[in-house]
Amino acid sequence: MMLHTAVEEDVKALVEGLNFKQKVDRSLALIEQAYAEYGDALVVANSLGKDSVAVWHLAKRVSPDMRGFIVTTRFKPPETKQFMREQVSRYPELKIYDSDAEIPDRLYETDPDRCCDILKVEPIRRAIEEMQVKCWVTGLRCTEGRTRVDFKEVEQRDEGLLKLNPILLWYEREVWQYLALNNVDVNPLYAEGYRSLGCAPCTKITTGANERAGRWIGTSKCGGECGIHTRPLKLVGGAGI
Ligand code: SF4
């Protein structure tokens, strides 16, 4: 099946060798094939960032029935929460997941990995279970930062759960190109200078080459990941985080 052969290809050569249109066509083809195979068990993870809204737009071109979920936290900026409300009222098939677990004050400073585990990874596990997801679609890109260079378009980190990264090969510039050409609404925080969006205490405006440099500044996670792309997401025998 072609979905799996993509794993074998040279990702770096494709990033540099394909033009914008070829990348868009490839992304659509990946989603189409996965949707043909998984149907309703294919679900888009929408973080409300620019990459996610591009993937959501692509997925909706493949099928208007496409479902999605948003994982939000109590620390998301008000602009992101407002953007989320707008997106959900436009697309009621986007389901919101969050956690109201009690956590120590300023856990994002003392132990950001644990904070992300509780506030992001646990709700995403719940989303995958409740929505009966067998293939989840993300906006991950391999040119995005230091931790994202070895991801593949199709990954299987958990038994019974495929991860599809249909815009893995896109440059940041190509995401903006796609959004502009298709008049896709974006989070207004981008107009303030943010390049990568997350929770308010852990996201800063930065300059320089690294797109994710503004995430978790001053912690061991600086420029890194919240864990949803690196931690197991299927609950095995009821095991927690
Ligand atoms: S991004 Fe920061 S505030 Fe948000 S869950 Fe992670 S550590 Fe906590």
pLDDT tens readout for residues 178-231 = 999 999 999 999 999 999 899 999 999 988 888 888 887 777 777 777 777 877
Please give the residue that has the higher pLDDT: either 91 or 232: 91
Average pLDDT in the chain: 90
DSSP 202-236: GB----SS-TTTTBSTTSTTTT---STTTS--SPS
Alpha carbons 201 and 74: distance in angstroms, whole number:
11
User: What residue owns the CA closest to ligand 1's atom 6?
Assistant: 116
- Ligand 1 midpoint to CA 105 (Å): 12
Please give the residue that has the higher pLDDT: either 1 or 137: 137
pLDDT tens readout for residues 149-188 = 678 999 998 999 999 999 999 999 999 999 999 999 999 9
Query: One-letter amino acid identity for 143?
Result: T
- Ligand 1 midpoint to CA 116 (Å): 5
Alpha carbons 200 and 149: distance in angstroms, whole number:
25
- Which residues are bridge partners to 69 per DSSP? 45, 95
pLDDT tens readout for residues 43-64 = 999 999 999 999 999 999 999 9
- Ligand 1 midpoint to CA 200 (Å): 8
Torsion of CA 74, 68, 47, 134, to 10 degrees: 100
- pLDDT given for residue 235 in this prediction: 61
115 is catalytic: no
Pocket test for ligand 1, best of 226, 228, 230, 241 (most atoms within 8 A of CB): 226
Q: How far apart are the first and last CA of the chain?
A: 33
- pLDDT given for residue 8 in this prediction: 52
